[in-house]
């Protein structure tokens, strides 16, 4: 399954915004003095608070909207997991949760996804395999690893070219 949330515009049913209201209670990332001093000009994200005309009020509103969108997404994933359980398929289904990119929420005074900083470049990756105990992997992985990993878990041949 694929989901589009969280993504701009940050929309969700109204009840998902309630935990994040009022927006002025949101805590923005700490600003670091001279944060851009060691970043080459080409590496500066053009989506800054100033370029996007985001005063503190708008930044906090964006943060609350993002969190509401994530909460909505979490609820949809819960529905999928419940449906797998109800259909008797949970014990024979590999579940992979990932994303196509990360997202700046004011870190380095950047917004959106256009940088090579960790917040923008890293993605979540959770793999649930029936019969396998939960574990944490501290190795670097690439999304290119998903196909050979999944094929191997399913007992399918993994082509040498991979």
Residue 137: per-residue pLDDT: 87
Residue 138: per-residue pLDDT: 87
Whole-angstrom Cα distance, residue 94 to residue 102?
23
Q: Which residue has the higher pLDDT, 20 or 44?
A: 20
Residue 97: per-residue pLDDT: 94
Residue 1: per-residue pLDDT: 87
pLDDT-above-70 percentage for the chain: 100
89: tokens are 């398929």
DSSP element (H, E) containing 96: strand 95-98
Residue 64: per-residue pLDDT: 97
150, 94 Cβ separation under 8 angstroms = yes
**Predicted TM-score of the model (pTM):** 0.88
In tens, the pLDDT along 117-148 reads 889 988 889 999 999 999 998 888 888 889 99
In tens, the pLDDT along 67-76 reads 999 999 999 9
Whole-angstrom Cα distance, residue 160 to residue 162?
5
27: tokens are 């805590």
Whole-angstrom Cα distance, residue 101 to residue 122?
6
DSSP element (H, E) containing 49: none
Residue 38: per-residue pLDDT: 92
């Amino acid at each position: 399954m694929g989901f589009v949330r969280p993504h701009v515009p940050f929309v969700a049913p109204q009840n998902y915004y309630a935990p994040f209201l009022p927006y002025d209670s949101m805590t923005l990332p700490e600003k670091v003095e001279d944060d851009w001093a060691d970043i080459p000009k080409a590496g500066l994200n053009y989506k800054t608070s100033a370029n996007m005309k985001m005063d503190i009020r708008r930044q906090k509103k964006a943060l609350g909207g993002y969190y509401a969108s994530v909460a909505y997404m979490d609820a949809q994933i819960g529905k999928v997991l419940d449906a797998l359980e109800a259909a008797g398929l949970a014990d024979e289904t590999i579940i992979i949760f990932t994303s196509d990119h990360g997202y700046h929420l004011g870190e380095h005074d950047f917004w959106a996804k256009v940088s090579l900083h960790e917040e923008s470049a890293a993605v979540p990756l959770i793999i649930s395999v029936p019969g396998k105990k939960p574990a944490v992997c501290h190795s670097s992985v690439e999304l290119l690893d998903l196909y050979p990993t999944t094929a191997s878990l399913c007992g399918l041949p993994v082509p040498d070219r991979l």
